[in-house]
Amino acid sequence: MASTAFQWLSLVGIIWLQAINGTNTNFPAYSSQLKQLLSISQVQLNNLAFASDAGKILGWFSGMASVHLPLWLVLVIGSSLGLVGYGVQYLFITNQISSLSYWHVFLLTVLAGNSICWINTVCYVIAIRNFPSDHQVAVGLTTSYQGLSAKIYTNIVQVLSPRKKARYFLFLNSVLPLLVSLMATPLTREIEVTRPKRMRVGFVVMFVITISTGVYAVLSSLQFLSRNLSPLGNLIGILASLLLPLLLPVSEKINELVRSWQANRERLRIYHFTLEENNSPIQERTEPKDGEEEQEEDSNSEVQVQEVAVREEIGVKLMLRRIDFWLYFLIYLFGATLGLVFMNNLGQIAESRGYSNTSSLVSLSSSFVFFGRLMPSLMDYFSRGKVRISRPASMAALMAPTAGSFLLLLNRTELALYMSTAIIGVCTGAITSLSVSTTTELFGTKNFSVNHNIVVTNIPIGSFVFGYLAAQIYHKEQGEDGKCIGMECYRTTFIIWASLCFFGTLLALILHARTRKFYSQRDN
């Protein structure tokens, strides 16, 4: 297949991988049932949510592996870790394994969480290498699909057996990433890069497809709009939307075949015309060849690969000595990580407020995370050549409404729960997407795979600290049956989270002031 068509096909492969790679995001949908099956406390359940994030502490292994191993092997290793981590838990839940302690389950969850880093790393590396001049857009667009993971898994479970959530979620978490990884392996490889004029049109088409997918995901997650849609119909709709991106490489291949056929036809026409009019070899040589014209057109259509604007190219050791790194680390901790902790606890939060349909709320949260992840790449692409807001300032603008949403949760209405979930989902997704570009711009591209895995170690740290705090307050308010019902269960937690988020907003403004000169030079 020609280079351009394969570029788009590699993007489709990354989209599919990201769509099934968020296995940790569906935890809230079955956490309450898992708590009952394992007979564990709220603190122990929170520790399992932390364990999934703790796998990211060792995420730098995947970065090192991507430097020294073929990417297809990195992908297979990552999906195999998930197969073992979730698969053994599934066998235990279904009584195929009789003896498994809580700490065994904890370590298996760490292993499963680490598998996400391996697949993420491959997706990042392929997007950056295959779309060097559009890598920020490619990474942002593809990672947005990870926001759909919880919805995809939830829809499949609702079709299979909504009453046995825990076992089916664990089964799908173990098997689906491996199957998709094996299917996508031939697509996700580094290719010879060109940048035709049609590349911009291609990204516009991809944005239209992605936004349409997000709109469908949100509407099908709202009960009052989707009550007449069967679970199977809902699943078919979301799976069909994942196939739509294939239209781009297929249409590109058809265009290439048509152009090749037209060039051959024109070449034959000129050849026969020359034989009939004049058989002079000199004149024949002076006729411009369509193949040469096509080659010239292709060379003209290529654009010089633009170098990414970076503040400095540094490795991990130097990065850890930078004040800007620690500011950035804390901003992520008090922003996106707090949002992720909220979503990890969404099942228990909904239950404490008397809301029974947790799966619908998780699907809605997943859909808004999808839109949040897409927003930065969408704005980047259509604001080229214009003055743009810096990454730290963007994070500050997103963290302020997140803090406000935590305070909105002090209102006991169902509308407040839905609105807060949507806002936190959008802002968390956007900050997560922005962080990829921020790491690249502040610390360079050469060591990105290792540097960014160091940055995201804040996720397990925050998951443990913030989650443990929430679990202790919940445990203090719970009844004899181990459950806490009422606004008091999370009231103090929401106030603390909001305060930390406001503090993170202040840190983001400080980082903006420190990097303002770099970003102003980049935009000039």
With CA atoms as reference, report the closest residue to 276 among 268, 265, 286.
268
Structure tokens at 417: 């729960």
257 within some domain: no
How many angstroms from the chain centroid is the CA of residue 252? Answer: 26
How many angstroms from the chain centroid is the CA of residue 94? Answer: 31
Query: How would you class 389 by CB atoms within 10 Å of its CB: exposed for 0-12, middle for 13-18, buried for 19 or more?
Result: middle
- Give ∠ CA 330-336-337 in degrees, rounded to 5: 70
Residues of the chain with pLDDT under 50: 1-2, 282-306
- b/e burial code for range 424-449 (CB count within 10 A of at least 16 → b): bbbbbbbbbbbbbbbbbbbbbbebbb
244 within some domain: yes
Q: What Cα–Cα distance (Å) separates residue 352 from each residue in 45, 285, 476?
A: 15, 83, 14
Q: Taking the CA atoms of the chain, what radius of gyration do you get in angstroms?
A: 25
47 within some domain: yes
177 within some domain: yes
Q: What is the pLDDT of residue 308?
A: 57
286 within some domain: no
CA distance 103 to 89: 12
Q: What is the pLDDT of residue 488?
A: 87
199 within some domain: yes
* Residue 384 structural domain: 3-252+305-523
Q: What is the pLDDT of residue 301?
A: 41
272 within some domain: no
What does the H/E/C string look like for 243-276? HHHHHHHHHHHHHHHHHHHHHHHHHHHHHHHHHH
Query: How would you class 508 by CB atoms within 10 Å of its CB: exposed for 0-12, middle for 13-18, buried for 19 or more?
Result: buried
Structure tokens at 145: 């699909």
Tell me the pTM.
Answer: 0.78
For 71-100, the pLDDT digits (tens) are 999 999 999 999 999 999 999 888 888 778
* CATH (domain of 478): 1.20.1250.20
Q: What is the pLDDT of residue 25?
A: 84
Instruction: Look at residue 355 and give its three-state secondary structure.
Output: coil
313 within some domain: yes
Q: Would you report the helix, strand and coil content of the chain in percent, each value rounded to 5?
A: 80, 0, 20
Q: Look at the chain and report how many structural domains it folds into.
A: 1
- Give ∠ CA 253-255-257 in degrees, rounded to 5: 70
With CA atoms as reference, report the closest residue to 364 among 423, 419, 427, 422.
422
